Amino acid sequence: MADDLGINALNCYGNNLVSSPNIDKLFNEGMHFTNGYSNDPTCAPSRASIITGQYVPRHGIYRVADRYKSDPKTLKAMKYLPPKNHIIPGFGVGVSPDKVFLPEALKANGYRTAGFGKWHVAKGKSPSSIPAKFDEGFEIAGHYKFRSDPVQKVADTVYSSDYITQKGIDFIHRMTEQHQPFFLYMPYYLVHKPLEPKQSYVDLLKAKLKQEKLSTEEIKVLAMIMSLDENVGQLMQVLKEKGIEENTIIVFTSDNGHYKTKNSNMFSKPYRGNKGETLEGGIRVPYIFKWKDHIKAKSVSKAPIIHVDIYPTLLGLTNSKQPNETLDGEDLSPLLLGKKDHTNRKVLAWEYTNYARWNAKEKSFVSSWVNVIQKDGFKLTENVETDAVILYNLNTDPYETKECASEYPKVVADLKNELAIWKTTTGYTTPKKNQDFISK
């Protein structure tokens, strides 16, 4: 899994400036989705949805951080207080250990599990601890200070994605030699900020793309994508070398949309929005599924899918027993295996509660509490602060250029009803009035 990799951040998804031959090969050898979504436009909530198979209100990881608490202007402008993140006593924000995590469900069905990289859904005892409920692994738990503690010389002197990849390769070698079925979770830090690319790739791209007038920031992101692609290629190669390619299911995706780069939105275009927004550019992500001789090569699906689908889909593809746990996602295995061309669900929905940066002059937040629902190509956004709704018809306007609520009153009414049902069934928290609110 990539970090902050936008829908237009790969060559195979349409960005000709990107060099991603290994991921492009994976794209051509499996099924890719053109309407794939993250469960949240930020890291921690979306990752929690992948690992639990649950929507945000159900798993309780709403935000990466409560930044409004240290911003008096924003706090006083908020009518409501967002729901609190779930807290693990002694550790801080984290998914409840009472939930059955994806690796736990697979372990119960005979799989050895490992996770290497960015966990970000609960802080471990130390930044180099094993991610919760995996048999083994390595997480660097820091948000910006990606350093292990206590310091491990190897981890601190090599490129993090190379280190993570080598850990994954070592695990594959051991499991193959032991004839042990395995689940390997590889959540890379690439291409999250800080932008720290390999200089060799930066030099190559500067020479290759000197006519493109790209910013230094864009060049760095492109170089980091090259590192991500290189690591994916190394993992694919070891599967071939060990003779297990035909018996391995591969899933590639990103945790959320891309952040905006200087003077550009090139990794999200042509979609509006970026990481931290529920516009399409903030929640659309690449999805590739490969299972040689089972999932048809070069196949494509327009079916809307979302992160919570990964958990039940892996259970379905491996004929694994579902745990005694509520899963909000849908098993996509019939679609992936060519038995059908659509999903059974009626709606996709999001709750995004990240209040940030009140602008007194414009009397608006950079982001605030919104609930979003999508059905039959129509996407409705409900602003909790103002009670306003915004509607886009993605069937005819996929880039959200024309608000059309007044044109479709029946659609608005239907989506409001569907959203109310979704709230009831997922444990949505009713907005609580903010006692510090000062009327604007």
Averaged pLDDT score across all residues of the chain = 92
Residue bearing the bigger pLDDT, 141 or 213: 213
- Asked if residue 387 and residue 261 are part of one domain, the reply reads no
User: Which string of DSSP letters, residue by residue, matches 238-284?
Assistant: HHHHTT-GGG--EEEEBSS-PPPBTTB-TTTTTS---TT--SHHHHB
Residue with tokens 């939930």: 99
Mean pLDDT calculated for residue range 386-403? 97
DSSP bridge pairs for 337: none
User: Which string of DSSP letters, residue by residue, matches 176-235?
Assistant: HHTT--EEEE----TTPSS----HHHHHHHHHHTTTS---HHHHHHHHHHHHHHHHHHHH
Domains in the chain, number: 2
Neighbour-count burial of 218, counting CB atoms closer than 10 A to its CB (0-12 exposed, 13-18 middle, 19+ buried)? buried
Asked if residues 23 and 282 have their Cβ atoms less than 8 Å apart, the reply is: no
CA 399 from chain centre, in angstroms, equals 20
Pull the structure tokens for residue 298: 């070069």
Pull the structure tokens for residue 316: 């379905």
Does the pLDDT value for residue 152 go beyond 80? Answer: no
Mean pLDDT calculated for residue range 199-215? 93
Q: Give residue-wise pLDDT tens across range 234-245.
A: 999 999 999 999
User: Which string of DSSP letters, residue by residue, matches 335-351?
Assistant: HHTTS-SS-S-S-EEEE
Q: Which of 126-135, 201-210, 309-318 bottoms out in mean pLDDT, i.e. has the lowest?
A: 126-135
Q: Which of 317, 345, 373 is the last residue of a domain?
A: 345
Residues 6 or more apart whose Cβ sits within 8 Å of residue 392: 378, 379, 400, 402, 403, 404
| Threshold 0.85, pTM exceeds | yes
Q: Which of 283, 310, 345 is the last residue of a domain?
A: 345
First-to-last alpha carbon distance for the chain, in angstroms, is: 42
- Asked if residue 212 and residue 156 are part of one domain, the reply reads yes
Report the C-alpha gap between 247 and 294 in whole angstroms: 9
> Residue 144 — very low, low, confident or very high, per pLDDT cuts 50/70/90?
very low
- Asked if residue 328 and residue 276 are part of one domain, the reply reads yes
Whether 5 is in a domain gets the answer: no
- Asked if residue 293 and residue 149 are part of one domain, the reply reads yes
Mean pLDDT calculated for residue range 319-345? 96
Residues 6 or more apart whose Cβ sits within 8 Å of residue 161: 188, 189, 190, 227, 228, 231
Q: Which of 284, 313, 345 is the last residue of a domain?
A: 345
Asked if residues 414 and 375 have their Cβ atoms less than 8 Å apart, the reply is: yes
Report the C-alpha gap between 194 and 35 in whole angstroms: 28
Mean pLDDT calculated for residue range 97-115? 96
Q: Identify the domain containing residue 146 by its residue range.
A: 11-74+85-345
Q: Percent of the chain, pLDDT > 90?
A: 82
